[in-house]
Structure 1
Amino acid sequence: MASSKDRLSSTHSNAVAQQQQPIVQHDGPSGSQQKTVQTQNKSATVTGSLQIQLQNRTNSSTVYAYITGLAINNNNALFLLQADAKTPYYPPNPSSTGTKLSVNVSIPLGAPGSSIAATIPQIAGGRIWFSIGAPLVFAVNPGPGLVEPSIFNPQDPNINTNFGFSEFTFNSSQLFVNISYVDFVGPPIALTLTDTSNTTQHVSGMPANGLQTVANALVAQTHKDTRRWSSLIVNTSSGSNAGQLLRILSPNSGILLNPTWFQPYWQPYVDQVYTHYTTQPLTVNTQASFGNVSGEVNSQTNSLNLGAGGMFQKPTAADIFGCNTGPFATGQNSETNTIIPRLAAAFNRSTLLLTNQVPDGEQVSQYYTNTITNHYARIVHAANLDGKGYAFPYDDVVPDGGVPQEGALFSYSPALLTVAVGGNGAYAA
């Protein structure tokens, strides 16, 4: 994989837009793949199309796949793959919001154990979606912009459908693909990437009972600390399956829907951290040209002063879980922007009282060991057979040479990407 030095941005949720308006326009790439995808690489041997095997590893025969994104070689036109899994569909620019698609883009995967071969062109900001039990409903807004399924809008036609997605970018340099739990946990998804030299990489995902395992652990955590972890569990609200476990929201998604959730949760830990660094320096390895940046908390301003890297006020729960507001909002200062992911990750993993070297002084075994931590991330990682998958936006931050946590694969010479949904037969490579 690309060095962690290249990791300056990460998975972005479009949750805010989805919450603010009933119809969401997804205008471009927002996935974590942007931080690692290289624009040029002389050793790349990428062809103009990618072969994908879509596998049904559920217990249902009613499973659909969808592939969406922006067609790089067609002026970044909005792209969906048609139901035959090989014909591109480029929706025209509609005159009104919420315009229905004029073609069928639901790719039926058939009976459990079946596979469907798909072919796609080079795509930016891509997603491979799956739904179980019912097809998904997509629409188009003027632009054109894709109206994606929303977990935030109660009027969304997909709100009671079991769905999930993986993210990818496939360009002239490489394929980058990852699984993500940044917004929610849905059906298990596993990835296998084989390159032209027959080398294989694998991300395991969760087994078939993974969602229930996460739900049980969140309930147990709420019993332990009385916080809102179990409130992140979402059951179907209507239909014959009403009351059935459907998905689990991330804390950030929960806060977007219910701003008071977790409001005071991080305060004791944040106070401890800021007191700790009034008497000793914190060193952040930017893993970029800025090198190591050190500073202490100014007791008068109650902010972490990292010199040219910026001043960091105490973050709130929403700042920590979301990683993009308050002191973690990026701006014009490039040095600050390299510090933010590393500092935000250290807060989510609660390692700032264990080492004053971020992220280089951290060990995976130390992540989430404080009683105040991102227990959602802890539980989600534990439920994945290989422990990998984006559980918060900057979950790709690791020490130089450290163990990746984000569940991403990439290749300069991809031959076949296999994406399996359902978790049956899931394995750790």
Structure 2
Amino acid sequence: MFERFRRRALAPLVTTALAAALLTIGGPPSAEAAVPATIPLKVTNSSGRGEPVYIYNLGTLLTTGQQGWADANGAFHAWPAGGNPPTPAPDASIPGPAAGQTKTIRIPKFSGRIYFSYGQKLVFKLTTGGLVQPAVQNPSDPNRDILFNWSEYTLNDSGLWINSTQVDMFSAPYAVGVQRSDGSTVNTGHLKSGGYNGFFTALRGQPGGWANLIQTRSDGTVLRALSPGHGLETGALPASVMDDYVNRVWQKYSSSTLTVTPFTDQPNTKYYGRVSGGVMNFTNSAGAVVTSFQKPDADSIFGCHKLLDAPNDLVRGPISRTLCAGFNRSTLITNPNQPDTTTAGFYQDVVTNHYARKIHAQMADGKAYAFAFDDVGNQESLVHDGNPLQAYLTLDPFS
């Protein structure tokens, strides 16, 4: 049980969702990059809440590979050595803007997270392996009753990638943006009017245990909804929640072929999936088996890992990403040609990732990172610019 609820150490570079986007659109650093060592991040508090806000910029300094935090001026501070049991981390908090106010800090060439919390500072600890992040699916996590959220970003010589993410949880609403070198701005992550309450109302009304993903404080404050993968850990969702759909997919492709064209710029690169002996084997155009998949369980689907592991290669990883998106969006039965990028067909089966479905339905631009490979078909809430002038983080209303 302890292993299931053990809090995670901060990844050396980026979290899964952002790493996937960087592989897709980032490319290698430009030899002519003119990105400065730090850029401004303008934080605007439009939440309407009266509690103090605390901001944290935590991650890996790309020039050295060291893990640490950045202060309000963008200066890097390496974490000290941790311990076992974990030891308290230095206070890396930056006082955020009051309601209705803005504050500008600077962010360095980092790959990591910008956390923000309301009312209380977050509790961070250090193990011998690095920083321990909050893991509020664990009922004993010290951050369980704190209202907080985070954005993921990478700033390097090729520019800025910054997202709003719901891969782990849906919580305090926010949006991100970037000012491009021509002065124009682009943003993503805003909810529709009424979208915050609308999401929780919709999740409460979804039968099958989905309402159990919602976590509240003892005073009744709604804190968050856990992602379904974490819901499996806590027992909020039954382990069999996706079994019926998976069984139907396996049955369909026992007698027909699933065609995966993983690269939009390589339409002739195709892989062909058929189920034989309970295993889905993929062949290339020459008929050679290139990779195989066991029938995935719900955890593998929601987490896009384990039986749907996606290594950073050019064959299994891209196929697995496509399968993961197809299972979460329940498009594999309705369309034998994947990835399916027609959003009208997403989440239409009674067995689907209802958490992701309800998040996307409440986003102003329809974009979200509701599961790790939500960028398949460009459905992710991510902005990028190769020479950014400024980044934005807007704390939105709880309505």
TM-score by length of 2: 0.89
Identity of aligned residues (%): 29
The amino acid across from 2:385 in the alignment is S
Secondary structure of the residue that 1:150 maps to in structure 2?
coil
Secondary structure of the residue that 1:310 maps to in structure 2?
strand
* Distance apart, 1:25 and its partner CA: 2.5
Question: What CA deviation, in whole Å up to 9, does each residue of 1:256-304 have, x standing for no partner?
Answer: 222x833222222222222222332110012187811113222xx0222
Question: What CA deviation, in whole Å up to 9, does each residue of 1:200-239 have, x standing for no partner?
Answer: 21103325854432221012121xxxx01001011114xx
Matched, 1:105 2:92: yes
- Measure the CA separation in 1 of the matches of 2:161 and 2:60: 15
Conserved 8 A contact 1:71-1:123: yes
Show the counterpart of 2:113: 127
The amino acid across from 1:273 in the alignment is V
Show the counterpart of 2:274: 296
Show the counterpart of 1:283: 259
Question: What CA deviation, in whole Å up to 9, does each residue of 1:360-387 have, x standing for no partner?
Answer: x541110001111111110011111111
Conserved 8 A contact 1:18-1:150: no
Match for 1:58 among 47, 50, 53?
47
- Measure the CA separation in 2 of the matches of 1:209 and 1:19: 35
- Measure the CA separation in 2 of the matches of 1:134 and 1:215: 23
Q: How does 1:331-342 map to 2 (within 5 A)?
A: 334-342=314-322
Q: 1:198 to 1:43 in 2, by over 3 A?
A: farther
- Measure the CA separation in 2 of the matches of 1:245 and 1:56: 19
The amino acid across from 2:233 in the alignment is L
* Distance apart, 1:33 and its partner CA: 2.4
- Measure the CA separation in 2 of the matches of 1:387 and 1:85: 34
- Measure the CA separation in 1 of the matches of 2:82 and 2:299: 36
- Measure the CA separation in 2 of the matches of 1:208 and 1:68: 31
- Measure the CA separation in 2 of the matches of 1:167 and 1:50: 15
Matched, 1:343 2:317: no
The amino acid across from 1:358 in the alignment is Q
Q: Which runs of 5+ in 1 are unaligned?
A: 1-15, 399-403
* Distance apart, 1:423 and its partner CA: 3.2
- Measure the CA separation in 2 of the matches of 1:77 and 1:108: 24
Conserved 8 A contact 1:279-1:296: yes
Show the counterpart of 2:290: 309
Conserved 8 A contact 1:179-1:189: yes
* Distance apart, 1:132 and its partner CA: 0.9
Which region of structure 1 is more displaced relative to structure 2, 56-65 or 32-41?
Answer: 32-41
Q: 1:423 to 1:153 in 2, by over 3 A?
A: same
- Measure the CA separation in 1 of the matches of 2:176 and 2:122: 21
Secondary structure of the residue that 1:248 maps to in structure 2?
strand
Matched, 1:174 2:159: yes
* Distance apart, 1:322 and its partner CA: 1.6
- Measure the CA separation in 2 of the matches of 1:199 and 1:358: 35
Matched, 1:29 2:18: no
- Measure the CA separation in 2 of the matches of 1:272 and 1:385: 33
Q: 1:331 to 1:53 in 2, by over 3 A?
A: closer
- Measure the CA separation in 1 of the matches of 2:186 and 2:169: 24
Q: 1:147 to 1:313 in 2, by over 3 A?
A: closer
Q: 1:72 to 1:197 in 2, by over 3 A?
A: same
Secondary structure of the residue that 1:353 maps to in structure 2?
coil
Matched, 1:45 2:22: no
Q: 1:200 to 1:17 in 2, by over 3 A?
A: farther
Show the counterpart of 1:138: 124
Conserved 8 A contact 2:374-2:380: yes
Matched, 1:189 2:174: yes
Matched, 1:246 2:233: no
Secondary structure of the residue that 1:347 maps to in structure 2?
helix
Show the counterpart of 2:335: 355
Q: 1:115 to 1:97 in 2, by over 3 A?
A: farther
* Distance apart, 1:353 and its partner CA: 1.8
- Measure the CA separation in 1 of the matches of 2:2 and 2:303: 14
* Distance apart, 1:255 and its partner CA: 0.6
The amino acid across from 2:357 in the alignment is R
Which region of structure 1 is more displaced relative to structure 2, 367-376 or 301-310?
Answer: 301-310
Secondary structure of the residue that 1:146 maps to in structure 2?
strand
Matched, 1:91 2:75: no
Show the counterpart of 2:357: 378
Q: Which runs of 5+ in 2 are unaligned?
A: 284-288
The amino acid across from 2:128 in the alignment is P
The amino acid across from 2:93 in the alignment is S
Matched, 1:231 2:220: no
* Distance apart, 1:333 and its partner CA: 7.1
Secondary structure of the residue that 1:25 maps to in structure 2?
coil
Matched, 1:415 2:389: yes
Matched, 1:389 2:368: yes
* Distance apart, 1:112 and its partner CA: 0.9
Show the counterpart of 2:136: 151
The amino acid across from 2:386 in the alignment is Y
Show the counterpart of 1:4: none
Q: 1:196 to 1:315 in 2, by over 3 A?
A: same
The amino acid across from 2:76 in the alignment is P
Q: How does 1:196-275 map to 2 (within 5 A)?
A: 196-206=181-191, 209-222=194-207, 227-237=208-218, 242-258=219-235, 261-275=237-251
Secondary structure of the residue that 1:254 maps to in structure 2?
helix
Conserved 8 A contact 2:83-2:128: yes
Conserved 8 A contact 2:18-2:152: yes
Show the counterpart of 2:304: 323
Alignment size in residue pairs: 386
- Measure the CA separation in 1 of the matches of 2:150 and 2:192: 16
